[in-house]
Amino acid sequence: MRNGRKFSIMPIAVDEQTLKDASGLSNSDSYSIEHSIPHYASEPGDLPLLENLRRDQPDIFLVDFDESEERARRTVAHIRKALPSAVVFAVATKSAPETIISAMRAGCTEYLIKPLSTSRFNQALLEFEKQRMQHVPAAKRGRVASLLGVKGGVGVTALAVHLATFAARLERGRVLLIDQHPDLGDVSVYLGLGQDRNRYHFYELVANLHRLDRKLLDGFVLQHESGLEVLTSPDAFDAMKVSTSNIEGVIEALRDFYDLIILDCAHGLTGFNVCAIEKSDKVYLVTTPEFPAVRNLARFLDHLARFKCPEEKIEVVLNRDSKRNTISKQHVESAIKRPVSLLVPNDYQELIEAINAGRPLQPSSPSEMARPLQSWAESLVGSHGQPGKQVAKKRFGILGI
């Protein structure tokens, strides 16, 4: 199928019995027979017909060579001129080599003998599908970015919410924010989305992986005025028991529906977070300029390196940066032996007011946080239809998972 629809076959000057045979042999799940054109499109007066073909662009033309080989060849030539990538099957009673060669030279890709053979016709369709797959670029799949705190209270949710809303406001594709906390996550609160507006949460979607499609997804996500879509966490302590393989499966499946997926993870290297790290293109380890957080950051990096997590996948974010801090960016870099990728200034007063009001800061906000968050969001979404370069996937294991 092409882009979720059936491949179309358009018969031209095909006799009634062959048309009936072709209709019966076509796989109804993948192919549909378009309205038949009863005459050749080989004369100057047939140009309007060819313009219609250019507009409709059938996937396969089925041209009958029995009535007139010359007009059939001219029809094929006109089709190939109007639609250079067109696929044309010739059908005929004759099987003489010179007739077959003549049809192929005219631009036919297959020559089928009447009455149509099931095996031969299906083989021709299979060859068409193989050729089409070789020329169709792989569907663009969304990027996944996880934000993970090296300890509690380092501001991961606030960063995730603002990063996601800033990215959504860029209007370069669909953006999804997942609150991956196993219970009582705060994403919906920070966004001013009442939890009672949606009784479904991320882990219920994980439990329904086998049913996941756009229609089911639309019943789970909340819509924010920025254009952001949100999957919330359970609003209770009775979180569902789900398998880590299902979590990975859902994250992977969601790539087909979104251009960017941001995960707000609880701190720690739990099994759920291992899944997020495994499936992410980028993992942002969030720390703050305080000794316990920097110590934990060094331990996280050592642990991830020991279990072969690609170094280029990991970025370090120093949140609440300020000139008044005792621990500077240089101190952090010296402790972890690698650069800090992102600095987010400390603007506590504006941030806490935004959180309490359930209205995230705008990209145009005078807050010191706005500019680095906007740059961060732009680095994730990239140019329209061209997300940032993805890191090659390499499986790794953490905590034996």
3-state secondary structure of 311: helix
**φ/ψ of residue 320, rounded to 5:** 60, 40
Query: What are the residue ranges spanned by the domains of the chain?
Result: 7-135, 143-381
And the tokens for 82?
């109007």
Q: Which residues pair with 113 in a beta bridge?
A: 92
Cβ atoms within 10 Å of 126's Cβ, excluding its own: 10
pLDDT score for 391 = 42
Closest-CA residue to 149 (of 138, 141, 158): 158
Length of the chain: 401
Q: How far is CA 61 from CA 95, 101, 217, 248, 310, in A?
A: 20, 18, 38, 42, 49
pLDDT by position in tens, the chain (length 401): 544 457 889 899 999 999 988 888 876 567 888 777 888 876 766 655 666 666 667 889 999 999 999 999 988 888 877 777 778 999 999 999 988 988 988 889 899 999 999 889 989 988 888 777 665 555 678 999 999 999 999 999 999 999 999 999 998 889 999 999 988 889 999 999 875 555 688 998 888 887 888 888 988 999 999 999 999 998 877 656 777 888 988 999 999 999 999 999 998 888 888 888 999 999 999 999 999 999 999 999 999 998 888 999 999 999 999 988 999 999 999 999 999 999 999 988 888 898 888 899 999 999 999 999 999 999 998 744 444 444 444 555 544 33
CA 342 to chain centre: 26
Q: Where are the alpha helices (DSSP H) in 83-152?
A: 97-106, 118-135
Note the CATH number of domain 143-381. Answer: 3.40.50.300
* Bridge pairing between strands 7-12 and 31-33: parallel
pLDDT score for 390 = 45
Matching CATH topology for 7-135 and 143-381? yes
Burial 4-40 (b: 16+ CB within 10 A, else e): eebbbbbbbbbeeebbebbeebbeeeebbbeebbeeb
pTM for the model: 0.64
165 neighbors 224 (Cβ within 8 angstroms): yes
pLDDT score for 35 = 75
Q: How far is CA 150 from CA 89, 277, 396, in A?
A: 62, 14, 19
- What CATH architecture applies to the domain 7-135? 3-Layer(aba) Sandwich (3.40)
